[in-house]
Amino acid sequence: MTTQTPSSGSHRKHAAVWAGLTTGLSVILLALLMLFISPSLLSGPRDLGLGVVGPQDRADSVSKTLEAQSPGAFVVQSYENAEDLEQGIRKREIVGGFDFTDPDMTVYVASAGSTAVSGTVSNVGATMAGSMGQTAEIVDVVPLPSGDPTGVGIGGLAFPLVFGGIVPAVAFRSMLSGQRWWIFAGLTGFSVAGGFVVAAVLKYLFGSIEGPLVPVAASVALGIAALALPLAGLNECFGTKGFTIAAMSMMFVGNPFAGISTSAQWLPAGVAMIGQLLPPGAAGTLVRSVAYFDGVGGGAAALTLGIWVLAGIVLWFSGPRISAAKARKEAALATV
């Protein structure tokens, strides 16, 4: 008859823990790879508005050609003249366009909207011009500033926005424990201060924006508040678990799905929709809109951020009531 020694039982327990952790962490690593890499691998032109100067039959011909080359990539519409086409780009009705009225083709783009999109439109235009024995002249209707010609400044906002929303919620709660009004004031004050710091760096250090500072600062501040206030409110209502789940969602879903560097139109449809409903993606869209397009195209993003801020305020002020209700319920159960 054999007996199991305490040592062998301990080894089996440790082996089971080792196997479980290894498997679980491997699954998490795989999920993170999918979340951060898949959107980039699956990205590309999708339903991009493209204008064509000329009669409708010319636009139809271009549309058929592009659909054959890149199915689902472009939606073509006709414009009477180049001035109307440029105005359509500034109003963000389209991302670019082609003008065939001159002997050589003119390709209109807006690199400030997305360098990935403008580069694609430029390449498609050059290829089409070459097939007709023409050359393509590129006109950048809304260019990026000369200090940041590749758009790296605004394109890199995703992580600072997420950081600016998560870390203050932890820091003020830790340093001002129990001081609810001071914590709330700290979060709102940091949102404003952080917005101006980021905007000032983009404007004066990186040269990423050339227009007024305040609209960009206000957009960044709204983005930070849309992260910080809901996270703090969830912690008030549901404790550390609520905060942790929300913070991880923003970090591991909101961040890679934001599409700030390429624009949401470049991401897969489902990913783009999710990203624009979360604060990082909405904030990136709003900042780009106010920085380069006088706010055009940023209305939905501003509304989304406003809803997040309002939700955070409601959660914050509901926290004490929810905590009191939980305490009463626990006390009632204890007396049974």
Query: Which pTM was predicted?
Result: 0.87
For residue 311, name the pLDDT band (cuts at 50, 70, 90).
Answer: very high
Residue 323 has pLDDT above 80, yes or no: no
Share of the chain above pLDDT 90, in %: 52
Every domain of the chain and the residues it spans: 48-140, 152-335
96, amino acid identity: G
Beta strands 105-109; 74-79: pairing state: unpaired
Residue 40 has pLDDT above 60, yes or no: yes
Residue 329 confidence (pLDDT): 72
Residue 265 confidence (pLDDT): 84
Highest mean pLDDT of the ranges 51-55, 150-154, 178-182, 195-199? 195-199
Residue 90 confidence (pLDDT): 96
Helix (H, G, I), strand (E, B) or coil at 94: coil
Q: What's the mean pLDDT in 76-82?
A: 92
| E-state strands within the chain | 48-53, 74-79, 96-99, 105-109, 136-140
| E-state strands within 104-181 | 105-109, 136-140
Mean confidence (pLDDT) of the chain:
88
Residue 295 confidence (pLDDT): 95
Query: pLDDT: is 42 or 161 the higher one?
Result: 161
